[in-house]
Structure 1
Amino acid sequence: MRRITTTAARLLTGLAVAAAVTATALPAQAAPRLALPEGVFRLADGQPCPWATLCLYRDYNRSGPAYGVRAGYDVDLFDLPMPGGVGGPTAANNVSSWVNRTGSTAVLVDLRRLRIRLLLPGRSIEEPPGDNDTVDFLRWR
């Protein structure tokens, strides 16, 4: 447990610096990229999460626009277009369902609140109200 706490503290320290740089370098609502980042692919609305993939869905119950991410590929969710979201035109602050079908732990990062949450291998979550639509960045451990 201490190892996880120490790792989380280091990650949060790095994220505080990244958030400060991002806040000064980017406009308030960054436009999504045209090409998807490496390791990311689109899923059909509501498509089940493929094996060896972490999937993120705009809506609860694994529905709405969605993406798959291969383990090991860190992703800035501002780079993923997500139409119809309440948090803007990208996946940042617009994801309600997560499925981790990889063998790695995903780190869900909220840059606004400088918080992280871990999504363990083989687990899925429907965001609780206090954490819904808050993730900005995906990292791997």
Structure 2
Amino acid sequence: MKTSFQRPCGLARAAATAAAAVAIALLPGTATTAKADASHLPPGVIKLQDSEPCPSATLCLYRDYNNRGPAYGVGAGYDVNLYDLPMSGGVNGPSAADEASSWVNNASHLAILIDRDNDQFRPLFPHQSLQEPPATNDSVDFIAWA
């Protein structure tokens, strides 16, 4: 398994590694678990207005850079398969999987951004934002929490 971290942090790094390994192992073998349907979002997920600021205690993902475009908010502790989130205007399909370019973690918990296709993960620490670098842009398919 390849790992990619933005900054070293002993306990957080160990927690991120363990949580990501469990999440990757538990993901189903098929790319989708359910058809993306805006009226039936997974527990803990809210649809934001395009480019809406990220609410407190929430991890937000945006289709476009600079926190623009279609967006979702995920409550801390809710693991989410991004194939279950419909997203318009994407180049990789009708869901949020492999579409997010901007992230904001306004939660007090460590979020793990997982790219199952390449067995890679990286942490997004509490109260941090991320503009995806070209190498990892549009790659996340699952969100887990440490």
TM range (shorter): 0.7 to 0.9
Tell me the residue number matched to 1:22.
29
- Unaligned ranges ≥5, structure 1: none
Is 2:15 aligned against 1:11? no
Q: Deviations over 1:63-119 (max 9, x none)?
A: 000001110111110000001101110000000000000100000010000111000
Deviating beyond 6 angstroms after TM superposition, the runs of 4 or more aligned structure 1 residues are none
- Unaligned ranges ≥5, structure 2: 1-8
User: CA distance change for structure 1 residues 72 and 113 in 2, over 3 Å: closer, same or farther?
Assistant: same
Q: Matched residues in 2 for 1:140 and 1:74: separation?
A: 7
Tell me the residue number matched to 1:118.
123
Which of 61, 82, 90 in structure 1 is aligned with 2:66?
61
Where relative contact order (Cα < 8 A, 6+ residues apart) is larger, the structure is: 2
CA shift, 1:48, in A, is: 0.6
Tell me the residue number matched to 2:35.
31
Is 2:131 aligned against 1:131? no
Which amino acid is the alignment partner of residue 63 of structure 1?
R
User: CA distance change for structure 1 residues 95 and 14 in 2, over 3 Å: closer, same or farther?
Assistant: closer
